[in-house]
Every structure is written in structure tokens, then in C-alpha cells.
Chains A and B, each alone.
Chain A
Amino acid sequence: EPEVTQTPSHQVTQMGQEVILRCVPISNHLYFYWYRQILGQKVEFLVSFYNNEISEKSEIFDDQFSVERPDGSNFTLKIRSTKLEDSAMYFCASRLSGGTDTQYFGPGTRLTVL
């Protein structure tokens, strides 16, 4: 069964460094999402992406964040200058366009900012 994959599974970085989290959505999906979950807290929506542009973003998704679909398979989340409070699990999700609206989630990347 097709699945969403994410790399790396765990990323440790120093405060102020840039990180790129990578996701490979399910191949025929057209909508892509990033979420984060700070330890012990709710899953929070960051951004949705469709047709090579951001379709919606939350107040969390400020100028420090950017997303990109650099090729036909990858979907990336970049954090330009990481802060301690960016430490969280980051989940990527994808879904088909039209039809079922079910989102399929990847296993997540745990980001630790020191």
C-alpha cells in the first residue's frame, strides 16, 4: 500500500541553523500539508500546498518557514533560523484532489533544537 515517507526520522540542530525536512507524498496525490506537534500538545496545522503554491497557512507559518516542491516527488519544509521552540514532531500529509478527502500522514520527523 502506498504511503507517505519522511526523512530524516530525527534531526538535531543548533539554534539559528537552517533545517530542511523532507517528505515524499503518495505519488498521485495533489494536496500536501505540514503539521507540527510539540511534545504533549495538540497537532497544529502549518500549511497546505496545491498546484505549486500555498493554499492556506496558519499564524505559526511565519517568514521563517517555507515550503517547496522541488521536483515531482519531494515536498520540503525549510526553517531558516531555528529557535528552541521549533523543537517538535513535524508531520507531512497528502491527499488526492477531489474524491475522498482523507489525508494520509507520514511517520514524522522529530526536530530537536539545542
Chain B
Amino acid sequence: KQEVTQIPAALSVPEGENLVLNCSFTDSAIYNLQWFRQDPGKGLTSLLLIQSSQREQTSGRLNASLDKSSGRSTLYIAASQPGDSATYLCAVKGLGSSGGYQKVTFGTGTKLQVIP
């Protein structure tokens, strides 16, 4: 059974700092990994998706890397801003009981606060 863990659970940084969020998963037979942000009381916004054959993806100040063999992904946020304050979730798509890659397992989340 896939388990996804995110460290740290919470993080508070001053504005302008670069930071790294970590995601680890127990079963390396994944199809892809997706990073989301979740604002309080809101839905999930997709940030980056990395296919299992890829090593990293970049979008603006965000860079996500994937090391499938070691079961790890990191999300790097450059020059953090107060608007980045949210909970960040990683989600792994893997093999389901039906034999297809449709089962998504979410991590526990990292709650980020960027202080002005």
C-alpha cells in the first residue's frame, strides 16, 4: 500500500527566502507525481506535474524534482512571498487494484507561512 509523507508538517519563513518542501513515497512504481497548493477552505490548485520518466519540472519560481528510485520528490520555491502562504500537497499516481494507474495517494501536506 502506497504511503506518502511530507516533511516538515509546517514551516514559517521570512519573505524572500528560498525553501524546500519534501515528499517521500514508499512504492516507487508510480505513474506521476503532482504538487498542489491548498488555500484554507478552498480546492486544490495544481502547481507542477512530473511524469515518472522525468527528473524535474519548472514553473516560474517553482521547481519540482523527482527521484523515483529513492521514493522522493522536492518542491523548491525561490524568493518566497506572503502570497505563497498555503498548504502544499504532493500526490502520487500509482497502480490501483484494477490494474490501471488511476489511484492517487496524497501526502500529509506542509503548511507554509511566509512572513512579510
- For residue B69, CB closer than 8 A to chain A, the reply is no
- For residue A55, CB closer than 8 A to chain B, the reply is yes
Most buried by A among B36, B43, B51: B43
Q: Are A56's CB and B108's CB within 8 A?
A: no
- For residue A28, CB closer than 8 A to chain B, the reply is no
Interface magnitude class on chain B: 20 to 34
- For residue A75, CB closer than 8 A to chain B, the reply is no
For residue B7, give the distance in angstroms from its CB to the closest CB of chain A. 14
Nearest A residue to B95 via CB reads: A56
Q: How far is the CA of A42 from the CA of B32 in the complex (A)?
A: 19
Q: Interface majority SS on B: helix, strand, loop or mixed?
A: strand
Most buried by B among A4, A31, A57, A106: A57
Number of A-B residue pairs with CB-CB distance less than 8 Å in the complex they form: 59
- For residue B72, CB closer than 8 A to chain A, the reply is no
Interface residues of A in 22-54 (CB under 8 A from B): 31, 33, 35, 42-45, 48, 50
Interface residues of A in 87-102 (CB under 8 A from B): 91, 93, 100-102
Known interface pairs A101-B32, A103-B34, A108-B43; A56-B106 also in contact (CB < 8 Å) = no
Q: Are A100's CB and B43's CB within 8 A?
A: no
Interface residues of B in 19-62 (CB under 8 A from A): 31-32, 34, 36, 42-46, 49, 51
Interface bits A50-75 vs B (CB < 8 Å: 1, else 0): 10000111100000000000000000
Q: Which residues of B contact A57 (CB under 8 A)?
A: 98
| Interface positions of B (Cβ within 8 A of A) | 31-32, 34, 36, 42-46, 49, 51, 89, 91, 93, 96-98, 100, 102-109
| Subset of 15 A-B contacts with CB under 8 Å | A33-B104, A35-B104, A42-B106, A45-B105, A56-B97, A56-B98, A56-B100, A58-B103, A101-B31, A101-B34, A103-B104, A104-B46, A105-B36, A105-B45, A106-B43
| Interface positions of A (Cβ within 8 A of B) | 4, 31, 33, 35, 42-45, 48, 50, 55-58, 91, 93, 100-108
Q: Which 3 A-B pairs have the closest CB atoms?
A: A56-B102, A56-B96, A43-B106
